[in-house]
Chains A and B, each alone.
Chain A
């Protein structure tokens, strides 16, 4: 869980522009459906929630089920009207919360 998420979004945008944001969090997303070599079920451990905020306001979020592939990838959009900071949050089943921030200049 110490791995860092990857973020891809523009550094600059025009006022009112709809920008594309891509994120990827390295994580096994253990589904809880697999069994180990002794036949015991490997417990579920996934990122169950992802959120994106801009200047403290919600832009996009997702509740994720075990059907999301390993290294959960999210691509979505945001309409930016002013410069500010995006904050991204990933929540693990074990309660771990990972955050990342990225600034954008809107002119």
Chain B
């Protein structure tokens, strides 16, 4: 995993760190396919429309250990029709799962923010499910600088 502690990251030279990461966890990183599998499980194989999702993430994250993420779905939140779930996956972490948010009609807004870990430059893919069984999706790439001086 590239989530070296700050101490560990500082202890290694930049190139040394990169070599360590490769040797350490070879083959352990999620592929885009695993992320796609998670999404397929979430949608039950239905196609998600590329619409209504907004994702707030920095374009470049200097410290992959804590990257602010906000997701929002432009949809009404009424008792009859609301966004019930939002799945967030990352296609370059050791495992694709990030979080699943569950909403109710009492949520008021289909929006949530948290802070995530990103092992490397990768895509964050968001899929929303409505109470009517519709699916919407969006994605955004984040460039991650690991063990940089900005951490």
A residues engaging B (CB < 8 A)?
A: 18-19, 31, 33-35, 54, 57-70, 72-79
Contact = CB atoms under 8 A, between A and B. Distances in A.
Interface stretch (B45-53, B109-117, B128-136, B143-151): B109-117
A68 B114 contact: yes
Interface string B82-111: 000000001001110111111111111101
Contacts of A60: 101-104, 107, 112
A64 B99 contact: yes
The main secondary structure of chain B at its interface with chain A is mixed
Interface residues of B, number: 37
The main secondary structure of chain A at its interface with chain B is strand
A57 B79 CA distance: 14
Nearest to B101: A62
16 contacts: A33-B1, A33-B25, A33-B94, A57-B106, A62-B102, A65-B95, A66-B117, A68-B98, A69-B65, A69-B66, A72-B115, A74-B113, A75-B112, A76-B109, A77-B109, A79-B77
B1 A78 contact: no
B59 to A, nearest CB: 18
A56 to B, nearest CB: 11
Contacts of A72: 114-115
